[in-house]
A and B are shown apart, each in its own frame.
Chain A
């Protein structure tokens, strides 16, 4: 990595440092790695406070049994995930989407939001969203069009599109 040197930087570089703006923000090419990192993040890192407030447990059994803290990926893979946890994931993702400088890129937050809803729909058809069928299909189609969406989430969303 080239080190920034104000003594040798040209005026254009210096100008960028006066109005940082979006400089350094995540790029489109990084959305996939960010999504994967989010899925591997332990639930308690992002949901501990919300779970405590809701009186929800962040623990659940996996098949086969796995040690350690539970992750977003493990939750979304469950055939019958705890609905209160899916609600927390949905609320977290929704909160990220609504912030201009939110903790997740808008696209990644949207995929996580849809994945939580899809996991609930797949598990007995329960609705945890007020999206009507047309809006749901439109949202899923948008997600499926994202090249950085992984195979697991792609399958989850496809299964619940109709």
Chain B
């Protein structure tokens, strides 16, 4: 049976904005689960932003994030406001964090004027509207997305009993991402995965890449509102990463 015929392997995601929507509007149990997934995925990106763009000490960044989550996210107000009309979720979350940080610093300044001296704040407009220093955040965000996509693909391959699809993807695609990587030779792949013919090997490789493309889009589709925005997000994250090399 062709790999593409397996249920679920090449299906394009139909659920958009699903995690955001569940986190903001669902009942308590589903809300906690969705929030847990969102936070686990994107807090490292927010932390990178605080450390590398806002120059907070790592321990201070952790404190800010903890308060941000407790004060804004867990009270549902933030996620509920993440309306699809307000723009990209990635930008929305960053803006919310910047506003939270600004308010926090102002509060601290009111109590202790000198406290803000070590923090690169900028003015309020700069904090909220412009994210010229947001590359660390975007790079980390991309890392979370890709980590999710690769992990999800591996899990789907294992669940479907398609170890050769994951194995070939790992050998031929993931391995080639490393600097100075050499591909595992075709003959070795045949021996390792028992391909009967070049057709089988090629079809497996094509299946792996299509499956990965589909899974990547499903991960982004959980915070992008439609297929066009998913593609735009891929392009934008790609530009950010290329710029970061």
Contacts and interface: CB of A to CB of B under 8 A. Distances in A.
Interface of A: 1-4, 6-7, 9-20, 23-27, 30, 33-34, 37-38, 41-42, 45-46, 96, 101-105, 108
A25 B243 CA distance: 25
Given A10-B245, A19-B238, A33-B187, A2 B172 contact: no
A113 B209 CA distance: 27
Contacts of A101: 202, 206
Interface of B: 139, 142-143, 146-147, 149-150, 168-179, 181, 183-187, 190, 195-203, 205-206, 208-209, 212-213, 216, 234, 237-238, 240-245
A26 to B, nearest CB: 7
A45 B196 contact: yes
B147 A6 contact: yes
Contact of A2 (B178, B201, B245): B178
A56 B245 CA distance: 57
B48 to A, nearest CB: 12
A101 to B, nearest CB: 5
A9 B241 CA distance: 11
B199 A103 contact: yes
Contacts of B243: 11
B202 A104 contact: yes
B176 A26 contact: no
Nearest to A15: B241
B238 A104 contact: no
A90 to B, nearest CB: 16
Nearest to A11: B244
Nearest to A10: B245
Nearest to B238: A18
A15 B238 contact: yes
Given A6-B143, A33-B185, A103 B202 contact: yes
